Amino acid sequence: GLDGQLDREIGTIGKIYREEPEELKDLASHWGITLFRLDDAGGIRQQTEAWEREGLSRGVQPGDSALPLSWTAPSGRRYRVHSVSKSSYRVAAAVEETSLRDTLWTLAVILAMGIPFAAGLAIAGGYFLAGRVLSPIGAMAQKAREITAESLAKRLPVDNARDEFGQLATVFNDTLSRLQDAFERLRRFTADASHELRTP
């Protein structure tokens, strides 16, 4: 995050100051470090123009701050400011928080609007898919209502014998076949019994 970036920048500034102090003025162009100030025994050794323009020195605590602090510059921009003192120098650096806050705010708005939209879309899609998936059951129920004792020869349509609805229709049709056979045997028995009773 920003605090890690600050720590890295402060470490880089300190290393360059110790090893190649003349390169401090090139930190912005070579390293992208645009908001810092380095003081040594002689006072301000290096300070970026942006640091001075934003008045970030006022956001630095006297001595070392244990943790980076958030500070609002007179321009209204928010910065994360941190300083570290070493034996012969003190480095203070800052990273702008405003763009991060704006990004987080935009993300929060997108999520606040997107989650209900996605949930509504999922519900509508689920309702539509459930209707499509369950429509064969409605058709099967309608056909089953049409089958009576006089029309046991009718069968439910089997569109796909491999899916669950096809298997259900097949089982139902098999049951109807057995029922039709039982009715036929009962009719024959009744007819035979009636014939036997009429003939002496």
Half-sphere exposure of 45 (CA within 13 A, CB side): 20
Taking CB atoms within 8 Å and a gap of at least 24, the contacts of 18-21 are 21/45
- Mark residue 63 as left, alpha or beta (left: phi above 0; alpha: psi -120 to 50; beta: remaining): left
Q: What is the pLDDT of residues 54-103, one digit of tens each?
A: 888 877 766 655 677 787 888 888 888 888 888 888 888 888 887 767 77
- What per-residue confidence (pLDDT) applies to 183? 87
- What per-residue confidence (pLDDT) applies to 28? 74
pTM: 0.49
What is d(CA 21, CA 23) in angstroms, rounded to the nearest whole number? 5
The domains of the chain are located at 2-96, 98-138, 147-200
pLDDT tens sequence for the chain (200 residues): 778 888 888 888 889 888 988 888 888 777 777 788 888 887 888 888 888 888 888 777 666 556 777 878 888 888 888 888 888 888 888 888 877 677 778 889 999 999 999 999 999 999 999 888 888 888 888 888 888 878 888 888 888 888 888 888 889 889 989 988 988 898 888 888 887 887 76
- What per-residue confidence (pLDDT) applies to 100? 67
What is d(CA 128, CA 131) in angstroms, rounded to the nearest whole number? 5
What is d(CA 173, CA 53) in angstroms, rounded to the nearest whole number? 87
- What per-residue confidence (pLDDT) applies to 65? 56
What distances in angstroms separate CA 10 from CA 21, 81, 86, 88, 120, one per listed residue? 14, 11, 11, 15, 48
What is d(CA 77, CA 98) in angstroms, rounded to the nearest whole number? 6
